[in-house]
Every structure is written in C-alpha cells, then in structure tokens.
Amino acid sequence: MTESVRNVAVFSLGGTIDMTTDPITGGVVPALSAHELLAAVPALATSGIGLKVRDFRRLPGASLTFEDLTALSAAITAELETEDVDGVVITQGTDTIEETAYLLDLYHGHEQPVVVTGAMRNPTLPGADGPANIHAAVLAAADPGLSGVGCLVVLGDEIHSARTVRKSHTTSPAAFTSPACGPIARIAENRVRRVGCLPSRGPLVRAPDRAARFGLYTATLGDDGALLDLWDGNCDGLVVAAFGVGHVPERLVEGLTKLASRIPVVLASRIGNKSSCPTRTASPAPRRTSSAAGSSAPETLALTRRGYSCTLCSPRAPTERRSARPLLPAPPADPTSSGDPRMRSHELTVGRTFGVTFDHGEDFFEALSTFCRDNGVRQGYIPSFIGAFAEAEIVGACEKLADPDAPVWAKTYVTNVEAFGAGTLAHDPATGEILPHIHVSAGLKAQSADGRTSHLLSAKVQFLSELMVVEVTSPTMTRPRNPDLYDVPLLTFG
C-alpha cells in the first residue's frame, strides 16, 4: 500500500450509495457501512491518501433533518480542528445533496474542502456509480488546489460549487449540473483539472440559536392569493418562488406586503437558472423593475420585518471566456540575471464589485477588515479611494537613509489630510486574515495642501472615506515575505 501523504475524513449518512437488498421485503435499504463502501474502491489503496472513516447516519437522503446536518457540521468542524485532515467527504442519498452541500457551505469556516457525493444507481444494479463517485470525491477533497473553496458536490467526475449545483434528472448518472455556469473542475486521469472559476465564499453563518419554521410558496398561473393567506400566523418567515425574474401576480402584492410587516419575506425566482449575482436588499415594500404591478426582480425586492435583513441568493454569472492570446517571443536573457523572474503576472477572474464608505471616526484598516469579513471577500483590488483622515501614519523618515536600496521601516505622523489612494487585498492562508497593501497621496490641509505620498500604515477617518473594492475569485493572492529582498512581503499569484 502506498504511504499516505494526504488525509481525508469520510462521513457516511446512508442513501442509495450504501443500499443493499432487504432479504425480507426484496426492496433496497441503507445497509452498507462506510468501511464497506470504501472497500469497493480498490484504487484508493494505492492513491497515497489516508482515510479516516465514520458511520454518522444510515438514512435515505429524503429523511435527513436540519438537526442531522447541524450535528454533521459540528462533527466536521471538530475533525478539521485536529489539523491532521486535508479534506472531508460526505456520502449520502442524492435526493437532498444540494441542500446538504449548501447548508454545510454556510457553516464551513475552514480552508479544507468538504465534498458531498452519492450514487444514482445502488450497488445491486448494473453500472453502479457509487465506487467511481467515492474515488473522485476523495481525490477532490485531497487536492491542495481546492483549498479555500468551501463545500463542493462531486458526481460523474464533475466538481460543482455547492451554491450552483442542482439535481436536474431523476435517474441519470449525470443528474447533477450547475445550469448557470457549469462545473468548476473535472476529475481526469486521477487528477483535478480546472475548467471554470473557483467560487467566492460568502460570509460565515452560525447555526441558529432557536428553531424557526420557514415556508416555501410557489407562485402559479391564476393564483388568487387564497393559499398565501394560509401562511399568515403559521410561519416565522416565507420564501416566495416567483415567475421569471421575480414577477408575482398583482393580486399577491397586498398579501405579501401584509405578511412582510410581521415576518421576513424573501422573493426569488422559481427558475433556478439565472445570471445574477448574490445581492442584499431590505425594503418595506416591493420595488418594481417594470411598470406592471407585481413586477419585481429577485435582485431588487425583499420584503422584510423591521430588524431583519434578507439575503437573496442566486447563482453567480458565468465568467466570460476570453480567446487565447498569441504567444509573444521570450525576451533575450539578461546575462546579469540570476535566472529568477522579476515580474509576476496572472490573468484574474473578477467576482463582485462593491462601493464602500467608512464613517467619521472609524479606524480605516479595522473598517476594511470588517467589510471583507462580512461580505466574504478574501482578496481583490482597491482601484481607488478618496477621503479625509484626522490622523494617519505613513512610511517615511526625516534623517538620511543609511542604505538607500533597503526598504524604509520608519514612519511619519500626519494630521488633517485629504487623501487619494489605491491598493490590493491578499489572503494569509495560515491565519485566514486579509493582508491589505495601501498606498496614498495625502495633502496636508493646514500646510497649503502640501503633499505626502507613501505606504499607508494606519489612519482614522475624518468625515468619510469612499472606496471601490473589486473582488478577485482566482487565482489565490498571497503576500509571502521574500528573505532575499529584505524580508519584504511581495504579492504572489496562485
């Protein structure tokens, strides 16, 4: 057996993948243990991946509950905090794979990938797909290139984001698809091969501290609202699956507004295949995107009770693929060069774009970290920002520099300045912290707007600061220190 170099924890929940024939009834029931499932995949023994196996539940997918999944999330977190696991695989029934994956993704705060898989054909049928899916899921969970992407679904050698995947066929082994954007990667020749952009991760969600009952109401042709009225007083919140981009019959608007005065009401599309980005809105009444009553897009309508904030989630727009560029001839080698490249570059996949304002008295870098944490932004660019600082520290020195080629670690203190700047946001995979790098041009208002330009170290906002933040979803942007260049942290891609 090959020596293990990566370790994966496997949790078995039941479902078609571990069903066998019941000798009494003749039907199939979940019966195989996690160890028996893995024994059916001999290729794992020579994969170089160590497995930690746990039978967690033995239930059909349709019988799983929120309590089961909350307990599973806690068990996964406990396993990952031991720091000897590189990824997690969940096997379960396919009926609720997309729900399990989405919920686990909301709760998952670690870098290791969590992969959910199952089978469309039970082990008693010809062409059972369970062993191949388990093998692919383990390879994905152990792959370092999928670190930090959250929860994934792997079936049929395709790797899908938990936020976009759907079960789109009742019996086909190729049942799972991501209609808006396709898979992010595939398993080929025992390797993970990227075919799409990696998903950005949203804010971490804690498990609820109380039980709540939410209803799902689907708008239908000729809907007169009578069934909608039955929800009043019988749920703590309501999700409305509306027509098209979020249209509801005019007859429902009054009832929805009435419900929204007491409970959160979220309007979404029943289609499930749309190119919009996740958006947050909160308003007391529908805002219309066309002149017809009841016409409201899911990105612009949320009916909420005061004090609640509703998030409207929809698949991210697929990134437009660009045609390949012609290769340019390599420049002649520099005979004085050590051979190491001096320039690093990488084509970027851009995610969301934000407009951000910081208020009077806020610490600039603390406010920036809070914004990134609340919105799940791990890396990106700040193309520009404008604002004023009551006080700030920037890199600079008044005395003669002992070594003009070395970085300046000293700082100078300025007050009452107008500022214009830009920067980058990198990610520290060891701590999960955001590493901002900001440069600023500052005019000292009390000194005829005399200017200073340097690296911003700290700042306290005066009146306001206004920023544009552009999220980068791939490649990974880190800032390791270069021991050969005065230990300066340098932006690195991939």
Q: Flag whether 340 is in a domain.
A: no
Strand 6-12 relative to strand 185-188, pairing: unpaired
How far, in Å, CA of 454 to CA of 414, rounded?
12
Closest CA to 69 of 190, 220, 186, 205: 205
pLDDT attached to residue 2: 54
The boundaries of the domain holding residue 133 are 6-194
Q: What is the pLDDT of residues 435-465, one digit of tens each?
A: 999 999 999 988 888 888 999 999 999 998 9
Q: Flag whether 200 is in a domain.
A: no
- Per-residue confidence band for 217, with pLDDT thresholds at 50, 70 and 90: very high
Q: What is the pLDDT of residues 247-286, one digit of tens each?
A: 899 889 999 999 998 899 998 888 877 543 333 333 333 4
81 and 163 inside one domain: yes
153 and 229 inside one domain: no
Whether the per-residue pLDDT at 298 is higher than 60: the answer is: no
96 and 11 inside one domain: yes
How far, in Å, CA of 187 to CA of 163, rounded?
20
375 and 299 inside one domain: no
Q: Given the structure tokens 């050698």, which residue do they identify?
A: 157
Q: Flag whether 112 is in a domain.
A: yes
pLDDT attached to residue 16: 82
**CATH number of the domain encompassing residue 157:** 3.40.50.1170
Residue 177 falls in the annotated catalytic set: no
Number of compact structural domains in the chain: 3
pTM of the full predicted structure?
0.58
- Per-residue confidence band for 287, with pLDDT thresholds at 50, 70 and 90: very low
How far, in Å, CA of 170 to CA of 405, rounded?
66
Annotated catalytic residue: which of 16, 117, 164, 476?
Answer: 16
Q: Flag whether 332 is in a domain.
A: no
292 and 405 inside one domain: no
Q: Flag whether 397 is in a domain.
A: yes
377 and 468 inside one domain: yes
How far, in Å, CA of 184 to CA of 158, rounded?
8
Which pair of tokens denotes residue 249?
Answer: 């019959």
Work out the angle between the directed axes of helices 66-80 and 97-107 (0-180°, nearest 10). Answer: 50
Q: Flag whether 334 is in a domain.
A: no
pLDDT attached to residue 7: 94
143 and 241 inside one domain: no
Q: Flag whether 279 is in a domain.
A: yes
180 and 57 inside one domain: yes
Residue 363, strand partner residues: 460
pLDDT attached to residue 197: 78
Q: Flag whether 203 is in a domain.
A: no
